[in-house]
Every structure is written in C-alpha cells, then in structure tokens.
Amino acid sequence: MIETYLERNGKTAKPFFDELAAPEGVVREHWKKLAHAYDELGVEKMEQRSREISQELRDNGVTYNVYSDPDGINRPWKLDPVPMVFSQQEWENIEKGLVQRAQLLNLIIADIYGERRLIKEGFIPFELVFSHKGFLRQADKIKIPGKFQLIQYSADLVRGPLGKMWVLHDRADAPSGAGYTLENRAAMTRVFPDLIRENQVRKISSYYQTLKNTLTRLALQNKENPRVVLLSPGTANETYFEHAYLASSLGFTLVFGQDLTVSDGYVWLKTLKGLEKVDVIVRRVDDIFCDPLEFLGDSHLGVVGLMEAVRQKKVTIINPLGGRILENPGLMAFLPRLCKHLLNEELILPSVATWWCGHEKEKKYVLDNLPFLIIRSIYRSNENRPYIGSELSKKQIDDLRTEINTRPYLYVAQEVVSFSTTPSLIGNNLEACNAVFRSYIVADMDKEVYHVMPGGLSRSFPTKGEFIISNQSGGISKDTWVLGPSPQSQAKPAVNQPVLRQVKNILPSRTGESLFWLGRYLDRAVINVRLMRIVLKIYNERDDEIHPETNQTLVILLKTLSAVTGTLPGFASADQTRLRQPEKELLSLAVETGRAGTLAQSLQSFLTNGYAVRDRLSLDTWRILDSISEEFELMKENGNDLRKIYHNLDQFIIKLMAFIGLNNDNMTRASSWRLLNIGRFLESSLNTCIILQAALANNVTPEVEKQLMELVLMCNESLVTYRYLYRSTLQLPGVLNLLLVNEDNPKSVAFLIAKIDEHLAHLPDNHKEGGLSPAHKKLLEALTMIRLCDVNKMVPSANANVFGKKELNGFLHHLITLLSQASTIIFESYFSPTQSQYSFVKNNNALPEL
C-alpha cells in the first residue's frame, strides 16, 4: 500500500509537496512507524478501521449541518483514518510562529480599538480598517483588563511546494472546530490506540483545561464563582454539535440569544427560577449578530443591549466584539512590517503572498495578473465568495476589473498556492489529497502566555488542486498528530486547593421547554407505536374475505388510532373509503412527517427536541437517540411496505424504552429530569383517557368488547398485571380500575397525575398569591375525580339499556378536559414567552427616515 503511494507521489516531479513521500521516493523519517503499521494492516483492515471510526462518530452523534442542503441537517461527520502528522522539530517552529502571530494580532487589535497609533503612523492604511465591516465603532475604547484582548485565535496553515508553512487565514472572531478536534482524537484513540502510543502522539487535553481556566478568570464581577455561558446561534447552525459538546465537556451552560436578557446593565439568563446573572459569554455568534439594537436590527441570534452591558463592564465577551477586523486578509500584506515594529522580530510564519488593492502599485499588479490570482473581498461572508482568476471567463474578468477600479480598497489578491498533499484513504487506496491545518491558541491567564494546542483540525479534499477546502464543500476532517514527548513543565510550588463548592445546575427556560416537549413527544411516539403495532397485527390476521369495515374490532381500533394521533377525521370520517382500504392512511400515519399527529411527525419532533438539549444528555443516551434516528430513516425508506414498517415498530419500542430507562437511571433528580417526566406523564395520562374513550366507551357486543379490553391492556403494557390481579376473564370494571384508579399501577391515570403533581412541587413556585397554584388545582381536581369515582356505576350491567356508557364517556371527556387545561397552565407558567426582547428594535427600525 505504501509502496504504491510512493511510486505515485515520491519519484515523479509534481507541483505539490507531499507530507509522507520525499522527492527521493522514500518515506519521510517521522512517518516511518506509521507507514510500516499501515503496510502491516493492509487495505482491508484499514477500510475496516475506517468503518469503525465512522460508526464511533455516528454513535456519538457527531454531525455537521450544511445550509440549503436537503441532506445537510445532521450530516454525519467524516474523519479520515490517516492523520496529518508533524514531527517534534517541525512543530516547535510552528508553535513558536503561532505564539508570535497571536501576540502580534493581540497588539494590533488593542491599538485599533485604543490609540490607533498604527494608523496614525502609517503602518496600517486607515481605509483598510474603517472600510471593513468587522471594525465596530461601538466597541471603540473598550478593553478587557489585563494583557490579552485576543483570547482565542485560530490560524489555517498550508504547506507550499518548497515545504514551508504559510498562514492562509486568521480566525479571530468566533473560531470553530475545537470540539470536532476533541471528538476526532477520541475516535482515533479508540480505533488506533497502539499507533498513538507507539508514535508518542502528544495529548491535546491541556488546551481545553487552559481554555476553561482562562474563561473562569475573565469574570469582572463574580470572580469566585463566575457563571460562564456558551452562546450558540441555534440548532440549525452548521457546528451546533460542537457548541453542545464543548458546553457539556467544559461544564458551561449552552444558551441561545432568546435565553439571555439585559437589565440594569447586567446580562441575565432566563431560568425556571427567574433571572441568573451571567459573567462571561463565550460566543459562537458572529459579532454583528450579537446585539440587534446596535448592529444588525433584524438579527434574532443576539441579545438586545448586550453592547451596553459590555461598555459598563458588567459582562465579558470572548472573543471581544469587533475581533473580526483581524480576519481582514488585507492585514496580511502589512504583518511583516508590523511584526518588526511591534515585536522587533521577523515574522516566523509568513502569510500567503497578499496584495491590497488600496495602493496604486499593488492594484496595477493585481489588474495585470487577474487570471493568475485569487481575488477576495476584505470582508469574508457567504455573499463575498472568492474569485479564482483561472476559472473566470473574459467577461467576468472585465467585470471584476471594473469593480476593483471602482472600490479598490475593498479587495485583496492572493497568490495561488499549491497546497501540500497528505495520504488519505479514498476507496480502497491511499491517495494524495491537498490538506489545510487549523491550529488553536488560547491565552493562558496564569502564565500570561499563549498556549497552542499540540494538534488541531486538518481537512483534506479528494480533488487535487483545490484552493478552497471546507467541510461545506465536501472536505474530510483529519486528526492532527504532533509526534514526540510532551515538554516537561517546571514543577509548580504547592498551593492550597480552593474550597470545593457545588455549583447550582441552572436550567434555561428554553432548555426546560425543550425537555418538556421531549417528554411529550417521547410518550406520544411510544403510544402511537404500540397502538399501530396492534392495529397492523389485527389487520394482517383478518380473514381476506371480510372487509375491514365489517370487522367491528378493527374498525374501532382504526378510529381509536385516528383519535390518539389527532389526525381526524381520518378513519372516523363519514366516508367509509379509508376503512375499506386503510393501507394508504396507515402508511401516511407511519411515515408522513409533514402531517401533524403522525408517528413520523412525533418521532421527528422528539429527535428535534433531543438535539436541542443534547448538552443535557449523556453520551449513551445520545447513542440511543442516534439509533432511533437511523431506524426512523429506515422506516421512511419502507414507506410503501406495511410488513417492513411493522418490523420498524418493533425496533422503535425497544429503543424508545431504552431511552426512558437510561434517563431514569442516570439523570439527577433536578429540574431537567422532572420537566422531562412531567411531559411524559401528561402525554401518557391524556392518551390513556383518549384510548379508553375511543375503544371502550362504545356499545358493542360482549365478544368485541372482550377483544378490545385485551388489546387496550396490551397497548398500556398492563395485560399481565391484570391477569395477576384478577385471575378471571376480562371485565370492564376491572380494566377501568387498573388503568384509571389503581395508584399502584404505574400505567394508571391516577398514578401519573400524582407523579405530575409531585414533580411540580419540586419545581420553582411561580405562583405568588399563596395557596395551591392553578396547575395544582387542576391536577387535584382530576385526581379527586378519579379517586371518588365508582367504576361499577359507570359500566352498564348486562341487561342495561344501550345508552349505559354515556356516563363513562362523559367522565373520560371531563378528565381529558382537566388534563388538557393543566397542561396549558403548566406550559404558560414556565415557558410562555413574555414580550419579545426584539420588539423595541423592530419598532425602532420602522421609524420613518428624517
């Protein structure tokens, strides 16, 4: 395998530097152990290890979203089994260069938002700064106390044809990828533990510990016990997995813009208990989206008034708002001179050759060489895509030339660099693919130095010669290995350990709402699956000569299914077509996600809410969720085959009950667990009443009623319990007693209501008027109604008139009404949104221009 790779990439002259193959056709020294190991494994075992890595990432729910892509939501993360490798000696130079670059950019941003001497003295053209959207005038003169303004920094590095490392991009706004890097290393460690050990691959955990320590040190107010939150744009963001993963790993609260509010100059987190003060915000929201009052008025990702809280030094934001100015590629042309001026050093890691068109000489060179350069806007965005000169038509070049002449200060040109190639497993071969390496640097507040992660996130692209490599365009991630022992740090003097304090587990209201609906949709899916399995079983066992509408048991079950799913009229329609030919409606109830109430819609909503609170779920729980998601996709593929769907339903029950069991076993009895169970029990009690009303409150023959009672007990997992309790034939009073009244039965409505009331008592009491809250009153009324009922009087005797079940029907109808009212009250008490924080911004934007 390696020999073939060497023949293709080592001995023949080519425009790319190869990471593994030297020009002499031999393996580079630091690759030798790895190359030998790959030869020992062979292609088949390498492919097997690759499949193991993919399965590991799928099990852990590692995903990457791609906007405007039908398959983009929760797309599985791709990891190449072959890493990017740096030798110890080479890494020392890279590390030194990254520290220097971070120090340089830190001084530049401090000056840009401070005295601006670099602009005044001509080291940076003023148009380069003031014409860039990343320069936020609202952030002027705002400074984080201490040495560091640039807390987190990333640089995208590439190796040129001669083997020298170049900086392709600087990332200083909200650099992403550190969470994926951690997950990549975890997956590689599980699949290639021997290779990591034998090659002395340096650990990357020190970066995350330094990051956590630094963030907790940056609090301006509550220094002993600061509240740090990670601000995410939301679940649709392409790197949402990483946001949830990092928040969970670092022990920070994951929040969206709607979870925060500004009052009295402070930033507050909306929780079930009220408002909790926030000290540090780690943002993954681009700076101009962070405060719609001061920046983009139509942004719903940020927090109204956030900038004012920063001005008043009531909250620290990392990285500071305005940091995007450092991502201006035009700055790269001036960094060598700035490095000499500010640090009195030569730039260790040079940037890709860059020409800013704001200078006449550079502009002329760019215009004369457009077909051979890459042209970029100085402000990176989805709308400002780079122009690759060699791919443009003559008209496009002419149009671009006109645009540059019109506003030259908005454009830079960069040299087309032939990225180095590194081996990647493509198909059944090792192929040489162009690669980019992203580094991660964080300020160490204790040592007052920058700490560089000994590794990072590399990306390769199967097509050679690609200058733009990203995950959205099909790039494949690679773990990055730095070989050699970790440097020995000097022993620190013993210090007193801080007193261990238990931190309150604060639950944002939005997270609580998602947990509540996660429980609702979980039990809704469970009851739908169980009832649908029973319906399909009876349907498949029917006599072919008997039409479904002549089978009274099946007719009632089909109508019950429509009642429970809420897809009325459904099988209850006056038109008997669906009863005569129920297959189409059954398929729709199984797989149609766009129809409210279907099993597919319930499962989709369950998964969506699970994804929204993934930082609150354990790894094993997430693996179950991912397994349910895979089964859901299989069921949709089986959309025209009821037999295959029946098999999917069997699998759903196993996996849904595993999810319930695992959360009952490992979730602490905090508000999150209680809200999840309140949602579950509300849904279960409502559905039990609906099933009893739809299936057993009808006037049918004794034989049909017996069949229905048995099936209803099966649907509620209570048939065995009934047989042990009564040891007799099925009778309606016994069934009603077991499913409604018996508080020893965890499936009974009385038991469920009592549990809902118990969980509510442990939640923050938002009722200020004293006495029982409205929710407790409704639940007490429902529970008392059940406890006082006489099921024998609600059931007609054998010689009663045919209208004898009216009392049962009315009782269940009243109970359903009370439970629905209780559900609404609970939701409005804890989750009903108050006036939107964005309403003022919208009204302000609507004012007429003067």
Average pLDDT, the chain: 88
User: For residue 409, is pLDDT > 90?
Assistant: yes
DSSP 502: P
Give the three-state DSSP class for 489. coil
Q: How confident is residue 595, by pLDDT bands cut at 50, 70 and 90?
A: very high
Cα 274 to Cα 134: distance, rounded to the nearest angstrom: 35
| Arithmetic mean of pLDDT, 361-387 | 90
- Alpha-carbon gap, residue 817 to 166, rounded angstroms: 68
Least confident of 596-605, 630-639, 771-780, 795-804: 795-804
Q: CA end-to-end span of the chain, whole Å?
A: 72
The yes-or-no verdict on residue 199 having pLDDT over 60 is yes
- The pLDDT of residue 464: 59
Q: Is 389 helix (H, G, I), strand (E, B) or coil?
A: helix
Only one residue has tokens 């700490």, namely 451
Read off the amino acid at residue 494: A
DSSP 8-state assignment for residue 224:
S
pLDDT band at 849 (very low <50, low <70, confident <90, very high): very low
Lowest mean pLDDT among 225-229, 439-443, 602-606: 225-229
Residue 12: pLDDT above 60? no
Average confidence (pLDDT) over 715-742: 92
pLDDT reported for residue 684: 97
The helix/strand/coil state of 739 is helix
Residue 577 has pLDDT above 60, yes or no: yes
Given this model, what pLDDT does residue 801 score?
Answer: 45
Neighbours of 470 (CB within 10 A): 12
Bridge-based pairing state of the strands 429-438 and 152-159: antiparallel
Q: What is the mean pLDDT of residues 3-13?
A: 72
Whole-Å CA distances, 159 to 5, 330, 354, 461, 477: 19, 21, 16, 15, 17
d(CA 233, CA 307): 17
> Taking Cα atoms as reference points, which of 423, 424, 370 lies closest to residue 397?
370
| Measured distance CA(375)–CA(595) in Å, rounded | 47
The reply to whether omega before 569 is within 30° of 0 (cis) is: yes
| Most confident residue range from 69-73, 625-629, 674-678 | 674-678
Q: Which residue has the higher pLDDT, 505 or 392?
A: 392
Average pLDDT over residues 109-133: 95
In this prediction, residue 477 carries a pLDDT of 92
Confidence of residue 835 (pLDDT cuts 50, 70, 90): very low
Token pair listed for 70: 């039908």
Residue 337 token pair: 């001179």
> What pLDDT sits at residue 652?
96
The whole-number pLDDT of residue 471 equals: 52
Residue with tokens 């943002």: 283
Tens of pLDDT, residues 44-88: 899 999 999 998 888 887 877 765 454 545 677 889 999 999 999
Query: What SS3 state is found at 650?
Result: helix
What is the Cα gyration radius of the chain? Answer: 32
Lowest mean pLDDT among 72-81, 434-443, 506-515, 545-554: 545-554
What the block records as the tokens of 468 is 């733009």
Residue 89 CB neighbours (<10 A): 11
Instruction: Check: CB of residue 180 under 8 Å from CB of residue 112.
Output: no
Average pLDDT over residues 778-786: 96
Taking Cα atoms as reference points, which of 738, 749, 742 lies closest to residue 681?
A: 749
Using a 10 angstrom Cβ sphere, with 0-12 exposed, 13-18 middle and 19 or more buried, the burial of residue 138 is middle
Q: In the chain, pLDDT over 90 holds for what percent of residues?
A: 66
List, in sequence order, every residue forming a beta bridge with 388; answer none if it has no partner: 374
Residue 791 pLDDT more than 60?
A: yes
Q: Taking residues 672-682, what's their average pLDDT?
A: 95
Check residue 287 and report its DSSP letter.
G
3-state secondary structure of 156: strand
DSSP-assigned beta bridge partners for residue 461: 434
pLDDT of residue 843: 41
Does residue 323 have a pLDDT over 80? yes
Check pLDDT > 90 for residue 668. no
- How confident is residue 380, by pLDDT bands cut at 50, 70 and 90? confident
Q: Residue 274: count other Cβ atoms within 10 Å of its Cβ.
A: 11
Give the per-residue pLDDT at 842: 42
Positive or negative, the CA dihedral 308, 313, 317, 322 is positive
In this prediction, residue 761 carries a pLDDT of 92
* Residue spans of beta strands (DSSP E) within 279-417: 280-283, 316-318, 354-356, 373-377, 387-388, 411-415
Distance, in Å, from the CA atom of 603 to the CA atom of 363, rounded to the nearest integer, reads 57
Check residues 385 and 80 and name the one with the higher pLDDT: 80
Q: In the prediction, which pLDDT does 69 show?
A: 52
Distance CA 71, CA 760 (A): 40
Closest C-alpha among 435, 440, 617 to residue 518: 617
Give the phi and the psi of residue 64 in degrees, each rounded to 5: -145, 125
| Band (844; pLDDT cuts 50, 70, 90) | very low
Residues facing 436 on adjacent strands? 459
Most confident of the following: 427-436, 456-465, 677-686: 677-686
Percent of the chain with pLDDT over 70: 90
Higher-pLDDT residue of 850 and 349 is 349
pLDDT given at position 840: 43
Quickly state the pLDDT bin for 545 (edges 50, 70, 90): low
